[in-house]
Structure 1
Amino acid sequence: MNKIFILLGTNLGDRLRQLLRAKQALEKQVGEILMASSIYETAAWGVEDQPAFLNQVILIKSGLSPMDCLNRTQQIESDLGRVRLKKWGQRAIDIDLLYFNDEIVNYPNLIIPHPFISERRFTLAPLAEIAPDYIHPVYKKNNVYLLHNCKDELPVKKISNDEPYRH
């Protein structure tokens, strides 16, 4: 079984409900959620003139390949109302594959580890919460090290725990 770290993000509509709906869909279509970080409210990154995001990292156990996982997560995004109008723009849901086991994947439409992990505090804070010692397969540094050395200064605030997924 593969272990996949996934970042969820949303800044439109009922954000908490969108995260819940995404997790439910991922459990049905991708695999079992083993762990979930707290939920963080974060400033928009890339295109900053938009509402704040809720972000969360989950760990899923799945038998899917990286490409099958990407295809399913993109379908879930579409099903939950994601419309791709502008890169890094507002969205009902965003599902990013961060790590896939300790593999390095480089396809035209899929790069794992996610190429912006080390540049985004909104990704690293929840990732370091649930996988502090996980070693980035390219940088050979753990998530806590990457977080402490991240140059992103946008605010990231923990707003709630996700108790159902704490094991």
Structure 2
Amino acid sequence: MHRYNKVVLALGSNLGDKKNHLINAVHLIHNEIGFVTQASAVYETPSWGFDSFPFYNMCILIHTHLLPQDLLIRLKEVEKKLGREKKTTDSYQARTVDIDIVYFNDLVLNAPDLQIPHPQMQHRKFVLEPLNDLIFDWKHPLLLQTTRELLANCNDSSEIKKVSDIHLPKENYCFQQLNFLAIEGNIGVGKTTLAQKIAQDFNAKTILERFADNPFLPRFYKEPERYAFPLEMSFLADRYTQLHAALGKHDFFNDFVITDYYIYKSLIFAQVTLEPDEALLYRTVFDVMYKEITKPDLYIYLSQNTDNLLANIKKRNRGYEENIQSDYLNNINKSYNEYIGTLPKEKLLIIDVTNIDFVENHKDYLKVLNVINQKIKQ
């Protein structure tokens, strides 16, 4: 399972064009730090702890791979870009933008420069009111209270006034137009990770291949000629059963489903691994099953060079994959290319990820999303 962090940030501004400062902060965070999945309304609140202009405040929920201290550094950079000046005293002061980490998963952290959850959040209505707009099921990890309970118990009597909503970058994507997205590619290309990331950010449901449960897989990599046919038949049966059952349960008028494989993968691999007589029998069985499976709205093929595939396979350190050779990957790639050449162009998107790290580099991930989004718009 792809690991990511769910983080709630509180944003505030009381200088200049306050709403625009918040909008710019949200966009910078989305473009440089993590995917912004939710935002509260913008609220006007009096300054808290010092006499100054009223604040505009809001909260956002983001998904990021960054750790807390790294996230703090990046948020300070966003504040600086938006004109916040470095504090010269310990007292509160007016600022163009202020960004605080409220929650970071269920983490409790008490470092000299960072405390999580924010130690004053339960006393501040200008944090709790926007926080209550967000849809999530967290409880304060120390107080064990929901946002609604924290708000009810808060003694802050400050007047809070809703100003407006803002447009999220997420709303520029058209993924809601898809019902079924299949992501494919060679071994080690990152199709499962990409499927999981998109599903997490766009609230989609995933159907992920159950390769780890196949007892023939480690035997095949050691003795391919002996175990190729039982391996491919078992994979075909499992993929058909999983896809047929899972896709049959979904309401495609309302659900968005992402898979990290499509059943045609079975035929692609079988053409590489099986002898001609075995392949003929396999194709007969495959054709019967293929007719019963729902076809994806969009088929994404991730293209990667063989050296990078081998490096990725080595990095994930699955013992049964240690004998995979470049010739095998090249043959699979050739078989994929033959298949995707038969697909309708309007249903196919090929993304070259040779120089893209959509796992660790957030900007690269956004590049991939934008390429997919442009395809959906066509």
> What TM-score comes out, normalization by structure 2 length?
0.43
1:41 aligned partner: 44
Instruction: Check the 8 A contact 2:23/2:166 in 1, yes or no.
Output: no
Residue correspondence of structure 1 range 38-77 to structure 2 within 5 A: 38-47=41-50, 49-77=51-79
Q: Deviations over 1:78-130 (max 9, x none)?
A: 11111124532100000000000011111110000000110000000000111
How far residue 161 of structure 1 moved from its aligned partner, in angstroms, is 2.1
1:162: Cα distance to partner? 2.8
Kept in 2, the 8 Å contact 1:131–1:143? The answer is: no
Residue aligned with 1:126, SS: helix
The structure whose residues are more often helix, as a share, is 2
- Structure 1: how far apart are the matches of 2:137 and 2:67? 24
Residues 1:150 and 2:186 are matched in the alignment: no
More deviation in 5-14 or 123-132? 123-132
Asked if structure 2 preserves the Cα contact closer than 8 Å seen for 1:133 and 1:144, the reply is no
Identical aligned pairs, as a percentage?
39
3-state DSSP of counterpart to 1:130: coil
- The correspondence of residues 112-131 of structure 1 with structure 2, limited to 5 A, is 112-131=116-135
Contact 1:5/1:58 (<8 A) preserved: yes
The whole-number CA distance in structure 1 between the counterparts of 2:11 and 2:65 is 20
Whole-Å Cα distance in 1 between the matches of residues 55 and 135 of structure 2? 21
Q: Unaligned regions of 5+ residues in structure 1, if any?
A: none
- Measured on the aligned residues, the alpha-carbon RMSD in Å equals 1.5
Query: What residue is the counterpart of 2:80 in the other structure?
Result: 78
- The answer to whether the Cα contact below 8 Å between 1:4 and 1:99 also exists between their aligned partners in 2 is yes
Pick one of 92, 95, 101 that aligns with 1:97: 101
Deviations 1:35-57 (A, max 9, x none): 0000000011011x110000010
Q: Indicate whether 1:21 and 2:31 are aligned.
A: no
Paired residue type of 1:107: A
* Residue of structure 2 in register with 1:6 after alignment: 9
Name the aligned partner's letter for residue 139 of structure 1.
Answer: L
Q: In the alignment, is the contact (CA less than 8 A) between 2:42 and 2:166 conserved in 1?
A: yes
Q: Find the aligned partners of 2:156 and 2:136 in 1 and give their Cα distance.
A: 18
SS of residue matched to 1:23: helix
Instruction: Give the number of the structure whose residues are more often strand, by fraction.
Output: 1
Partner AA of 2:104 in structure 1: F
Q: Is the 8 A contact 1:5 1:59 kept in 2?
A: yes
Compare 76-85 and 107-116 and name the one that shifted more. 76-85
Moved more, 128-137 or 94-103: 128-137
Structure 2: tracts of 5 or more residues without a match: 172-201, 203-378
In 2, the alpha carbon distance for the partners of 1:139 and 1:127 equals 16
Shift of 1:163: 4.8
User: Given that residues 7 and 57 in structure 1 are in contact (C-alpha distance below 8 angstroms), is that contact kept between their aligned partners in structure 2?
Assistant: yes
- Tell me, what secondary structure is at the counterpart of 1:21? helix
Letter in 1 for 2:77: Q
- The yes-or-no answer on 1:106 pairing with 2:115 is no
Which residue type is aligned with residue 65 of structure 1?
A: L
- Separation in 1, partners of 2:9, 2:19: 17
What is the total number of aligned residue pairs between the two structures? 166
Structure 2 Cα separation of the partners of residues 82 and 66 of structure 1: 21
The structure-2 alpha-carbon separation of the partners of 1:57 and 1:90, relative to structure 1 and needing over 3 Å to count, comes to same
Alpha-carbon spacing, 1:131–1:105, altered in 2? closer, same or farther (3 Å): farther
SS for the counterpart of 2:131 is helix
Range 108-117 or range 127-136, more displaced? 127-136
Structure 1 counterpart SS, 2:80: helix
Structure 1 position 75, deviation (Å): 1.1
Q: Max radius of gyration: which structure?
A: 2
- How far 1:133 sits from its partner (Å)? 4.0
